[in-house]
Amino acid sequence: MSVMEVVRAALPWLMVLLVFLVLVTYLPPLSTFLPDLLYGPLRL
């Protein structure tokens, strides 16, 4: 396998990871859902 073949095979997976990174970064409820579910919402 050449390096280019490996890059082409990995590119779709990297794009999916990038999409999820953007979603979790800019939509806070997605990243705080599970901790809120386990520990309850933060009370100040």
pLDDT of residue 38: 92
Q: Is residue 13 part of a domain?
A: yes
pLDDT per residue over 1-44, tens digit each?
A: 899 999 999 999 999 999 999 999 999 888 888 899 999 888 77
How far is Cα 26 from Cα 4, in angstroms, rounded to an integer?
32
Domain that holds residue 32: 3-39
Q: Is residue 16 part of a domain?
A: yes
Q: Is residue 25 part of a domain?
A: yes
User: Which pTM does this prediction carry?
Assistant: 0.66
> Which regions of 1-44 does DSSP assign to beta strands (E)?
none
Q: Is residue 44 part of a domain?
A: no
Question: Structurally, how many domains does the chain consist of?
Answer: 1
